[in-house]
């Protein structure tokens, strides 16, 4: 039954990519997800069964299963490249099934710039092992030894006779636990990895083929909308919905506590009905939001916090005769602001839910849906379907929950909900506002001898499965019998979350890194690309720049003086050269400036160094970022153009956050509703960008999706200081803030 | 509900809906066209753009009653994966997308631009696309794609 109702649309989608589904057996990846910890690489450790990753198909194609999903970052193309190379088959023979709770491995979230590092490496090991099993079978068949065999596009030969993967596949059993005995190929043997293969999803996206969740049109499908409260904690006091039930096309009005939704035959009918319900409903609400603007940060510091020492380094010699410096940096609440509001389709039939979703984690979402729907996870299937880009946690999971709740009222008919623009702006969880206090001591040799970094921040992850005792799905909080809000926690170092990249890569003799974690969320917050790293790198890399200027040292030379990490040094020197950096050079033109910044994302992923050239217009307070020159060391690069696209996108997104973005709110409610309230960088404003890749094919692949955002903000801030002689420490660098600082 | 006969991608279609229905929902839900997308509903982002008699038009704020006999073209009407429009080909060649949700509007507006001005300068392209929002940050690739397509169109004219 479950298979029946889920498969038709899935088939339609897969058919378009020529994928053969005939040999599928449903298997429960969840059953293998809880095995005892092993030393298997990447996501193989939790999903060790080889047939969970790879099928050799009778149609002479290879089917790869991945728990990671396409967000626009090109991961499915990169994974197909890895599989093709490890298996010695043409790239065109690889098909992929991604992120489906009934089909693919459980790889948790697609997040943290980890998909190549963890998901990719698992595919590489699984394919290498499958290849070795096929070679062993071939050796037996051809009466030879494996070392005398060669594989070309799935054809195995010993020079005289040959046999193919497709002929051998019935003889090998992939229903076995991976042992990682066959090692992935060294870089010297890569043919497809390392090439800029075109994205496999783009032809469909650029010609209007059905590929997005919004394009899923199931038989009998109806449309829904949710009527959210006017503010976070508002209560629905009264509503007479009878007139709306009689509106054209309306099929159902669902009212459960403060959760209010409507389903109608046509989408525009659902929108009209939702508007009518909004006008009829009366809510009680109180002014319970924190102050906005500059007052926010003092307020945050006054709130109850969970304090922790992230790192201390204490040298035996107490620094003497030092000069003391300090500065404070802030970042407002910022939105994901996806171009497409969140969307989901759900169907409820015979006790079974099927939810099509652009979540970044189908398995975690299923887990939290089970709490809100109050049904075992076995009754829920979540199928990833591509959606508009977001790079973080926006309304994607919430809308899936909305659709699932509404699907109970549509008599088995599937229901699609897309949030309205104002729903997304008002209800998505934002990137948290942050305040960062920096202090340092510098000795007579202009060396930083003590470094103090102190961060105040709300949570950076409230994704599904954050806490077993509660849920963060919005509708769950609004039900008459609510699912309690979960408890958040900060992720531990070295990755961290609020404290991500708060620990410097520099070798300061004394260090103290503190976090004041504010678990309460007056505004809803969760993972926005880079989590706390954007603001922490802004503070760290601005402050070290301030110290360089204060001691009359060149900012790049000053950084290198404190930095031993050889890869970081090599990259910084390389980028300085690419940008023709001139030490201690005053700006050539009035109001122009050049700034530098560096970070290794999470101190674990790619190394990224950035030089930004900016111009300030003092009369208007406008800032133009003319050009950004960027260097990246990401170890082995699977797809250079894909990587460059990620880095470029990160630079533009970060420039936009830096120059323009802040969520607006008053004492009671969010007041950001449309793009007019939340402008982002436009075509006329984006900088020119150069990205240089420092290839290190012998090193392991390092994630890049979040590599450039931190260095970009700090490079812009440092360039502004270079241009004006003033420091800009409060984001965003809007015209009002620029004028205020220039006047100070 | 009133009946309408509308002309989309070279063919007539009969649809029945209220007169104030934004044409976006008719194209997407009645005609199963995927190109135009809902982004903001108030003509601020550009994801829903279609051509109406060759002019780039925001379908989210255009009611069906305003269409009349005008000819509409969506992304599907430009080309398909086997027969790409030069702009679609150029977007692919430049890999000018990440999530691709905004691409529809940019390709359609660029099409209207090139029809009117086959040799746009970079500034003119940026100006034409300035009211289209992209969150993934692929702007510079989009500019290159339009320049590339313009080059191709120009070559075509020379022949």
Contacts of A112 (CB under 8 A, 6+ apart): A495, A602, A703, A706
Asked if B152 contacts B146 with a C-beta cutoff of 8 angstroms, the reply is no
Please say if the pLDDT value at position A12 is more than 50: no
Give the residue from B50, B95, B120 with the most A CB atoms within 10 Å of its CB, the best one to mutate: B95
What gap in Å lies between CA A229 and CA A391, rounded to an integer? 26
Q: Which domains does chain A have, with CATH numbers?
A: 2-202 (3.30.365.10), 213-285+336-427 (3.30.365.10), 434-461+497-743 (3.30.365.10)
Verify whether the Cβ–Cβ distance B80 to A207 is below 8 Å: yes
Mean pLDDT of chain B: 95
pLDDT tens sequence across A472-493: 999 999 999 999 998 999 999 9
Residue A203: closest CA among chain B residues belongs to which residue? B81
Query: What is chain B's alpha carbon radius of gyration, rounded to the nearest angstrom?
Result: 16
What would the two tokens of residue A706 be? 């979040």
B97 to chain A, any CB pair closer than 8 A? The answer is yes
pLDDT tens sequence across A538-580: 999 999 999 999 999 999 999 999 999 999 999 999 999 999 9
Q: In this structure, are B60 and B92 located in the same domain?
A: no
B139 to chain A, any CB pair closer than 8 A? The answer is yes
Q: In this structure, are B58 and B104 located in the same domain?
A: no
Q: Residue B137 to residues A261, A653, A656, B134, B142: CA-CA distances in angstroms?
A: 34, 6, 9, 6, 10
Asked if A113 contacts A701 with a C-beta cutoff of 8 angstroms, the reply is no
Q: In this structure, are B67 and B107 located in the same domain?
A: no
User: A602 versus A466: which is more confidently predicted?
Assistant: A602
What gap in Å lies between CA A182 and CA A188, rounded to an integer? 17
Query: What is chain A's alpha carbon radius of gyration, rounded to the nearest angstrom?
Result: 27
Percent of chain A with pLDDT over 70: 95
B142 to chain A, any CB pair closer than 8 A? The answer is yes
Query: SS in 3 state form for A6-35?
Result: HHHHHHHHHHHCCCCCCCCCCCCHHHHCCC
Determine the distance in angstroms separating the CA of B18 from the nearest CA of chain A, rounded to an integer: 9
Verify whether the Cβ–Cβ distance B37 to A217 is below 8 Å: no
Verify whether the Cβ–Cβ distance A674 to B29 is below 8 Å: no
Q: Which residues does residue B51 pair with via DSSP β-bridges, in sequence order? A: B56, B73
**B73 lies in which domain range?**
3-78
pLDDT tens sequence across A637-687: 999 999 999 999 999 999 999 999 999 999 999 999 999 999 999 999 999
Among residues 192-231 of chain A, which lie with CB inside 8 Å of chain B? 196, 198-199, 201-212, 214-215, 217, 223
Q: What is the pLDDT of residue A26?
A: 32
Among residues 635-664 of chain A, which lie with CB inside 8 Å of chain B? 641-642, 645-646, 648-653, 656
What would the two tokens of residue B139 be? 């702007």
Determine the distance in angstroms separating the CA of A70 from the nearest CA of chain B, rounded to an integer: 8
B40 to chain A, any CB pair closer than 8 A? The answer is yes
Please say if the pLDDT value at position A4 is more than 70: no
**Beta strands across the sheet bearing A62-66:** A54-56, A62-66, A94-98
A628 to chain B, any CB pair closer than 8 A? The answer is no
Q: In this structure, are B69 and B93 located in the same domain?
A: no
Q: In this structure, are B102 and B54 located in the same domain?
A: no
- Residue A394 class from Cβ within 10 Å (0-12 exposed, 13-18 middle, 19+ buried)? buried
Q: In this structure, are B7 and B50 located in the same domain?
A: yes
Mean per-residue pLDDT, A88-103? 97
Q: What is the dihedral of CA A477, A101, A42, A504, to 10 degrees?
A: -20
Pairing between β-strand A150-152 and β-strand A259-264 as defined by DSSP bridges: unpaired
Q: Residue A624 to residues A198, A277, A279, A742, B29: CA-CA distances in angstroms?
A: 32, 45, 43, 16, 42
Verify whether the Cβ–Cβ distance B34 to A215 is below 8 Å: yes
What would the two tokens of residue A264 be? 């109608």
Local confidence band at A27 (pLDDT 50, 70, 90 cut-offs): very low
Q: In this structure, are B60 and B103 located in the same domain?
A: no
Q: What is the pLDDT of residue A38?
A: 53
Residue identified by tokens 């404070």 is A328
Asked if A168 contacts A137 with a C-beta cutoff of 8 angstroms, the reply is yes
How many contacts, defined by CB atoms under 8 Å, are there between A and B? 176
Asked if A331 contacts A537 with a C-beta cutoff of 8 angstroms, the reply is no
Q: Which residues of A touch B58 (CB under 8 A)?
A: none
Contacts of A504 (CB under 8 A, 6+ apart): A451, A453, A511, A540
Local confidence band at A358 (pLDDT 50, 70, 90 cut-offs): very high
Residue A690: closest CA among chain B residues belongs to which residue? B140
Verify whether the Cβ–Cβ distance B101 to A388 is below 8 Å: yes
Coil, helix or strand at residue A528: strand
Question: Which contiguous run of DSSP H or E holds residue A251?
Answer: strand A250-256
Verify whether the Cβ–Cβ distance A340 to B141 is below 8 Å: no
Please say if the pLDDT value at position A530 is more than 50: yes
Verify whether the Cβ–Cβ distance A683 to B142 is below 8 Å: yes
What gap in Å lies between CA B17 and CA A738, rounded to an integer? 51
- DSSP one-letter string for A407-464: HTTTTT--EEEE--HHHHHHHSPBBPPEEEEEEEEE-TTS-EEEEEEEEEE--S---T
Q: Among partner residues B32, B98, B133, which is closest to A217 by beta-carbon distance?
A: B32
Verify whether the Cβ–Cβ distance B130 to A683 is below 8 Å: yes
Residue A642: closest CA among chain B residues belongs to which residue? B95
A265 to chain B, any CB pair closer than 8 A? The answer is no
Contacts of A28 (CB under 8 A, 6+ apart): none
Q: Which of B78, B108, B132 represents a domain boundary (last residue)?
A: B78
Q: In this structure, are B137 and B154 located in the same domain?
A: yes
A414 to chain B, any CB pair closer than 8 A? The answer is no
Q: How are the residues of chain A apportioned to helix, strand and coil, as percentages rounded to the nearest 5?
A: 35, 20, 45
Q: What is the pLDDT of residue A730?
A: 98
pLDDT tens sequence across A730-743: 999 999 999 999 99
Question: Which contiguous run of DSSP H or E holds residue A288?
Answer: none
Contacts of A127 (CB under 8 A, 6+ apart): A53, A54, A64, A82, A83, A86, A87
Q: pTM of this prediction? A: 0.94
Q: Report whether the peptide linkage leading into residue A732 is cis, meaning its omega lies within 30 degrees of zero.
A: yes
Contacts of A420 (CB under 8 A, 6+ apart): A225, A271, A274, A341, B41
What would the two tokens of residue A162 be? 């040959």
Q: Which of B54, B78, B102 represents a domain boundary (last residue)?
A: B78
Please say if the pLDDT value at position B122 is more than 50: yes
Verify whether the Cβ–Cβ distance A208 to B75 is below 8 Å: yes
Determine the distance in angstroms separating the CA of B83 from the nearest CA of chain A, rounded to an integer: 10
pLDDT tens sequence across B66-116: 999 999 999 999 999 999 999 999 999 999 999 999 999 999 999 999 999
Verify whether the Cβ–Cβ distance A680 to B98 is below 8 Å: no
Q: What is the pLDDT of residue A217?
A: 97
B80 to chain A, any CB pair closer than 8 A? The answer is yes
Instruction: State the DSSP code for B107.
Output: H
For residue A23, the tally of other CB atoms under 10 A from its CB is 12
Question: Which contiguous run of DSSP H or E holds residue A698?
Answer: none
Among residues 455-474 of chain A, which lie with CB inside 8 Å of chain B? none
Q: How far is Cα of residue A392 from the mean position of the Cα atoms in its chain?
A: 4
B35 to chain A, any CB pair closer than 8 A? The answer is yes
Q: Which residues of B touch A338 (CB under 8 A)?
A: 101, 135
A50: phi then psi, degrees, rounded to nearest 5: -60, -40
Q: In this structure, are B7 and B74 located in the same domain?
A: yes
Among residues 363-392 of chain A, which lie with CB inside 8 Å of chain B? 386-391
Q: Which of B17, B45, B78 represents a domain boundary (last residue)?
A: B78
The number of distinct structural domains making up chain B is 2
Asked if A212 contacts A344 with a C-beta cutoff of 8 angstroms, the reply is no
Instruction: State the DSSP code for A146.
Output: G
What gap in Å lies between CA A578 and CA B142, rounded to an integer? 25
Q: Which of A85-94, A116-125, A263-272, B57-66 has the lowest mean pLDDT?
A: A116-125
Q: In this structure, are B49 and B16 located in the same domain?
A: yes
Question: Which contiguous run of DSSP H or E holds residue A377?
Answer: none
Whichever domain contains B127, its CATH number is 1.10.150.120
Q: In this structure, are B91 and B74 located in the same domain?
A: no
- Check the CA dihedral B81-B82-B83-B84 and report its sign: positive
Give the residue from B9, B84, B99, B121 with the most A CB atoms within 10 Å of its CB, the best one to mutate: B99
Asked if A519 contacts A466 with a C-beta cutoff of 8 angstroms, the reply is no
Determine the distance in angstroms separating the CA of A313 from the nearest CA of chain B, rounded to an integer: 39
Pairing between β-strand B11-16 and β-strand B3-8 as defined by DSSP bridges: antiparallel
Q: In this structure, are B14 and B36 located in the same domain?
A: yes
Does the ipTM exceed 0.90?
yes
């Amino acid at each position: 039954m479950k298979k029946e109702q889920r498969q038709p649309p899935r088939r339609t989608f897969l058919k378009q990519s020529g994928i053969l589904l005939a040999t599928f057996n449903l298997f429960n990846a969840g059953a293998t997800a809880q095995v005892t910890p092993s030393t298997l690489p990447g996501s193989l450790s939790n999903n060790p069964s080889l047939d969970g990753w790879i099928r050799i198909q009778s149609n002479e194609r290879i089917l790869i299963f991945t728990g990671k999903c396409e967000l626009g970052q090109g991961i499915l193309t990169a994974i197909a490249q890895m599989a093709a190379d490890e298996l010695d088959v043409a790239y065109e023979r690889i098909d992929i099934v991604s992120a489906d709770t009934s089909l693919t491995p459980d790889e948790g979230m697609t997040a943290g710039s980890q998909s190549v590092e963890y998901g990719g490496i698992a595919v590489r090991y699984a394919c290498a092992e499958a290849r070795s099993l096929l070679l062993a079978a071939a050796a037996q068949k051809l009466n030879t030894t494996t070392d005398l065999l060669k594989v070309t596009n799935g054809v195995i030969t010993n020079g005289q006779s040959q046999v193919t993967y497709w002929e051998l596949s019935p003889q090998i059993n992939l229903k076995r636990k991976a042992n990682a005995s066959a090692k992935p190929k060294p870089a010297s043997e890569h043919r497809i990895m390392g090439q800029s293969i075109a994205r496999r999803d783009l032809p469909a996206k650029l010609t209007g083929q059905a590929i997005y969740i919004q394009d899923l049109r199931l038989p009998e499908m109806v449309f829904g909308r949710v009527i959210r409260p006017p503010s976070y904690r508002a209560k629905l006091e009264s509503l007479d919905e009878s007139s709306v039930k009689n509106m054209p096309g309306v099929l159902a009005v669902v009212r459960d506590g403060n959760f209010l939704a409507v389903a109608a035959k046509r989408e525009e009918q659902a929108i009209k009905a939702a508007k009518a319900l909004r006008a009829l409903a009366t809510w009680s609400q109180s002014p319970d939001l924190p102050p906005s603007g500059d007052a926010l940060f003092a307020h945050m510091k006054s709130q109850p916090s969970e304090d922790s020492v992230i790192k201390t380094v204490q040298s035996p010699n107490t620094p003497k005769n030092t000069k003391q410096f300090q500065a404070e940096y802030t970042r407002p609440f910022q939105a994901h602001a996806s171009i497409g509001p969140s969307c989901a389709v759900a169907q409820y039939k015979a006790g079974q839910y099927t939810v099509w979703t652009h979540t970044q984690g189908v398995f975690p979402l299923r887990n939290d849906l089970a709490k809100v729907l109050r049904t075992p996870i076995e009754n829920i299937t979540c199928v990833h379907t591509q959606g508009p880009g977001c790079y973080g946690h926006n309304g994607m999971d919430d809308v899936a929950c909305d659709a699932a709740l509404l699907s109970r009222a549509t008599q088995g008919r599937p229901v699609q909900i897309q949030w309205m623009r104002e729903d997304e702006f008002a209800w998505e969880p934002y990137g948290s506002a942050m305040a960062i206090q920096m202090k340092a001591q510098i000795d007579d040799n202009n060396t930083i001898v003590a470094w103090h970094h102190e961060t105040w921040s709300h949570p950076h992850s409230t994704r599904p499965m954050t806490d077993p005792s509660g849920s963060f799905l919005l509708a769950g909080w609004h039900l008459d019998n609510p699912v309690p809000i979960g408890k958040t926690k900060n992720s531990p170092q070295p990755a961290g979350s609020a404290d991500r990249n708060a620990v410097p890569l520099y070798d300061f003799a004394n260090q103290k890194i503190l976090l004041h974690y504010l678990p309460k969320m007056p505004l809803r917050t969760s993972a926005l690309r880079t989590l706390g790293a954007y603001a922490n790198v802004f503070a760290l890399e601005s402050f070290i720049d301030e110290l360089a200027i204060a001691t009359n040292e060149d900012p790049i030379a000053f950084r290198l003086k404190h930095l031993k990490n050889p890869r970081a040094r090599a990259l910084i020197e390389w980028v300085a050269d690419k940008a023709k950096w001139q030490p201690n050079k005053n700006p050539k033109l009035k109001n122009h400036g050049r700034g530098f910044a560096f970070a290794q994302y999470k101190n674990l992923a790619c190394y990224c160094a950035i030089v930004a050239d900016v111009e300030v217009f003092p009369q208007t307070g406008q800032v133009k970022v003319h050009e950004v020159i960027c260097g990246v060391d990401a170890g082995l690069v699977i797809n250079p153009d894909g990587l460059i696209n990620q880095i470029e996108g990160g630079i533009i997104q970060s420039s936009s956050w830096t120059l323009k973005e802040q969520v607006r709110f008053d004492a009671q409610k969010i007041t950001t509703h449309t793009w007019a309230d939340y402008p982002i960088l436009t075509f006329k404003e984006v900088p020119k960008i150069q990205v240089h890749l420092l290839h290190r094919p012998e090193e392991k692949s390092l994630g890049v999706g979040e590599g450039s955002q931190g260095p970009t903000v700090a490079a812009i801030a440092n360039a502004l200081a270079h241009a004006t002689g003033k420091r800009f420490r409060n984001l965003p660098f809007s015209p009002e803030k620029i004028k205020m600082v220039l006047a100070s | 509900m009133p009946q309408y006969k509308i002309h989309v991608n070279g063919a007539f279609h009969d649809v029945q809906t209220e007169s104030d229905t934004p044409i976006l929902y008719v194209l997407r839900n009645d005609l199963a066209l995927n190109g135009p997308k809902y982004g903001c509903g108030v003509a601020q982002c550009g994801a829903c753009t279609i051509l109406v008699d060759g002019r780039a038009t925001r379908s989210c704020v255009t009611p069906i009653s305003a269409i009349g006999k005008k000819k509409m073209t969506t992304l599907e009407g430009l080309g398909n994966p086997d027969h790409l429009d030069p702009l679609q080909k150029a977007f692919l060649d430049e890999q000018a997308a990440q999530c691709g949700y905004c691409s529809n509007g940019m390709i359609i507006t660029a099409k209207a631009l090139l029809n009117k001005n086959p040799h746009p300068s970079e500034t003119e392209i940026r100006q034409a696309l300035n009211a289209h929002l992209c969150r993934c940050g692929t702007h510079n690739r989009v500019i290159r794609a339009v320049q590339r397509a313009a080059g191709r169109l120009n070559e075509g004219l020379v022949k």
